[in-house]
Amino acid sequence: MLKIFPENFLLEDRGRKVRRLRLYRAVIWVALLVAVLATGCGQGSSQEQGTETKEGSPTAPEGRTQQETTSEETYRSPVDDEETSAGETTSRAGEGREAPFTAAPEMSGGTERAADSILEVRFGEHEGYERVVIVFGSEGTTASGVPTWSLSSPTGEGYARITFPGVDTTSISDGAFEGSIIDNFYVVRAPGGGLFVDIFATGAFQYRVIELSDPGRLIVDYRPADVALGFPIPAQAQKTVLFEPRLNEAITSPLRVSGYSRNPEASNTIILRDPSGNVLSQSTVLSNDWLDTWGYFETSLEFPAFDGVASLQVGSNSPRDGSFEGVVVPVTYGGE
């Protein structure tokens, strides 16, 4: 039996097929577009990752550079953790290398007007050597550099003297380290202006000096030397240190007497007594400081010839009971 459909029905059916075909084609195009976009994003992502690696690549070498720098600085300057910093530099004597130990009688360095005060003096023990760290200040805060300095370590002596001509104030005046090679230190008002720091050893030593920046610090390392001292260590008492003359020295007139002290009113009494206790000569000299830090003194003492072993007293009388407080060194007569 033949079915006859109205014309409009055939047209509607044909339209539905066309629409389905168009929808099918659209779905295919969308799928293709998504695939293309996904491929492009993947490539873009790979490109971005490659770019980030290239951009980030300096970061890795930079990290290595920092490690290499720290390692190099630590090699040049084997310091405590608290003394390790990115701003470490060696002294001018080192010129970028590890400063060698030396027995040179003189050395110098620093930068003019880099600091005006001493804030702290620290001590550390290391394998084979001991360390003193001098920390500097400038205008009420921590200094970034090390001021001009000159070091004197006379041959045969058991101390090193570091003079800072541009440093006028100090927050610390002395201290005992009691190490195996470094014993103690004094901060002294220098006679020509500025301050000097005496670092005493327990015996013969070699030293090296290292400058550190940010904050400004001067490092002085001592290591033992396998030789004997040529001179006795200067005599030391609670408030007096006598540099000249030394223990058992043969003296002649006039005698140069020098040292530093913190005796009351900066007054230092010097008395030379013969073996019987009689006064051969007596003098009083003032130090250039006593309130803020140790003050330097120097004078000349004239005396007659004597036999035997005399004693030189340098110090002051106790304000409590008038007894003598200071150093006493035996001396002999070295004249004809």
- Give the integer Cα–Cα distance in Å for 330 and 249: 8
Reported confidence tier of residue 69, pLDDT bands at 50, 70, 90: very low
What b/e sequence results for 237-269 when a residue is b if at least 16 CB atoms lie within 10 Å of its CB, and e otherwise? bebbbbbebbeebebebebebbbbbbbeebbbb
Does 48 score more than 90 pLDDT? no
Reported confidence tier of residue 63, pLDDT bands at 50, 70, 90: very low
For the chain, domain boundaries = 10-41, 81-224, 235-333
Q: Are strands 294-301 and 182-189 parallel, antiparallel or unpaired?
A: parallel
Q: Evaluate whether 235 touches 135 at the Cβ level (below 8 Å).
A: no
- Give the integer Cα–Cα distance in Å for 231 and 238: 22
Strand partners, 300: 256
Mean pLDDT of 22-32: 55
Reported confidence tier of residue 51, pLDDT bands at 50, 70, 90: very low
Tell me the per-residue pLDDT of 109-135, one tens digit each, with 9 for 90 and over: 999 999 999 999 999 999 999 999 999
- Give the integer Cα–Cα distance in Å for 316 and 269: 5
Whose structure tokens read 């990115």? Answer: 86
pLDDT the model gives residue 138? 98
Q: What share of the chain is helix, strand, coil (3-state, %, to 5)?
A: 20, 40, 40
Strand partners, 241: 236, 260
pTM confidence score: 0.73
Q: Evaluate whether 99 touches 208 at the Cβ level (below 8 Å).
A: yes
Tell me, which fold does domain 235-333 have in CATH? Immunoglobulin-like (2.60.40)
pLDDT the model gives residue 180? 97
- Give the integer Cα–Cα distance in Å for 75 and 67: 12
pLDDT the model gives residue 322? 86
User: Mean pLDDT of all residues in the chain?
Assistant: 81
Does 56 score more than 50 pLDDT? no
Same fold, 81-224 and 235-333: yes
Tell me the per-residue pLDDT of 254-288, one tens digit each, with 9 for 90 and over: 999 999 999 999 999 999 999 999 999 999 999 99
Taking the mean position of all CA atoms in its chain, how far away is CA 95? 17
The CATH number of the domain covering residues in 81-224: 2.60.40.3500
pLDDT the model gives residue 21? 47
pLDDT the model gives residue 28? 56
